[in-house]
Amino acid sequence: MIEIRQVQKTYPPVNGASEPVVALESVDVTIQPGEFVTVVGPSGCGKTTLLNMVAGFEHPTQGSILLDGQEVRQPGPERAVVFQQPSLLPWLTIEDNVAFGITIGHGKSQLDRGRLEGLMQTMGLSEFSRHYPYQLSGGMQQRCAIARAVITDPAILLMDEPFGALDAQTRSDMQRFLLALWTDLHHTVLFITHDVEEAILLADRVLVMTPRPGHIAKELKINLARPRYWDMVMAPEFTEYKRKILAVLRPESSARPASG
């Protein structure tokens, strides 16, 4: 369980500015084990700051973050992080990149071949195991990065706009692969995005963030059936979720005068 308790984060002034930046204020969320939570909001609203604090890369200025009751002080093996850029090791094959999380600490002897192959299969990488990263598309590279992140079986997967650099079709494929993986592993996921449809399609719960200062303006439980399919974005319930989120992110568009 992840407990984010009354967290505030202030950065010191940058580039000669006189005021410190209040990146986050009064963030209070509890995430249950196995829950898939997405955070959606515009650029600069503090999404990365929030994720980095859960990861242990940054610390709250006020408040606390607890993992199963223990305060987060630094990164740990139970939390894997996936960034927008896949950052694979170019001199290793795809399979060796995926295995890296295990082989770096323990050597090849600790590698569970069955698990590695299962993971390669789930992420659609089996045919490319002997390829090198430069031979793969951006989407495949990111699938490799995700497989590498989960091979050590972390309880928590933290993802910061992992599909943000990909085109729409690839993105949709990636969402499918990620949901298949989550169905198998059922780890806790904190997934950041600025795409409202992505936030709804993946999540059990969406946290909507707004800036100045960054805070969670709305929480929305998503009751769409699983498994989820991309065409659910056209369902009336989906549109209703989207409308509720956009009303928070773009209040002016909900208030516009009727045209025509």
- Chain contacts with ligand ADP (rule: CB under 6 A): 11, 14, 21, 23, 41, 43-49, 214
Beta carbon of residue 234, minimum distance to ligand ADP (angstroms, whole number): 28
- Residue 5's beta-bridge partner residues? 64
| Choices 43-51, 69-77, 116-124, 177-185 (CB under 5 A): range interacting with Mg ion | 43-51
CB 83 within 8 A of CB 26: no
Q: Taking CB under 5 A as the criterion, which residues in 132-161 touch Mg ion? A: none
Q: Binding residue for Mg ion (CB under 5 A) from 48, 142, 175, 188?
A: 48
Cα dihedral across residues 131, 135, 141, 145: positive or negative: positive
* Signed CA dihedral, 193, 196, 201, 203: sign only: positive
Selection from ligand ADP, Mg ion, none that 14 binds (CB < 5 to 8 A by kind) is ligand ADP
Q: Of 42-50, 68-76, 79-87, 218-226, which part binds Mg ion (CB under 5 A)? A: 42-50
Closest CA to 86 of 170, 10, 28, 201: 170
Size of residue set near Mg ion by CB under 5 A: 2
Nearest to 164 by CA among 127, 132, 191, 189: 191
Q: Smaller CB distance to ligand ADP: residue 52 or 175?
A: 52
- DSSP SS3 for 13: coil
Question: In terms of CB distance, is 40 or 145 closer to ligand ADP?
Answer: 40
Q: Looking at beta carbons, which residue is closest to Mg ion?
A: 48
11 binds, among ligand ADP, Mg ion, none (CB under 5 to 8 A by kind): ligand ADP
* Cβ closest to ligand ADP, residue 14 vs residue 225: 14
Give the one entry of Mg ion, ligand ADP, none that residue 74 binds, where binding means its C-beta sits below a cut-off of 5 to 8 angstroms depending on kind. none
- Classify burial at 74, counting beta carbons within 10 Å of its beta carbon; exposed 0-12, middle 13-18, buried 19 or more: exposed
* 56 CB neighbour count, 10 Å cutoff: 17
Residue whose CB is less far from ligand ADP, 56 or 124:
56
The nearest distance, CB 9 to ligand ADP, in angstroms, is 8
* Partner from ligand ADP, Mg ion, none contacting 72, C-beta within 5 to 8 A by type: none
Alpha carbon distance 192, 199 (integer Å):
8
In the chain, the largest separation of any two C-alpha atoms, in whole Å, equals: 70
Q: How far apart are CA 42 and CA 39, in angstroms?
A: 10
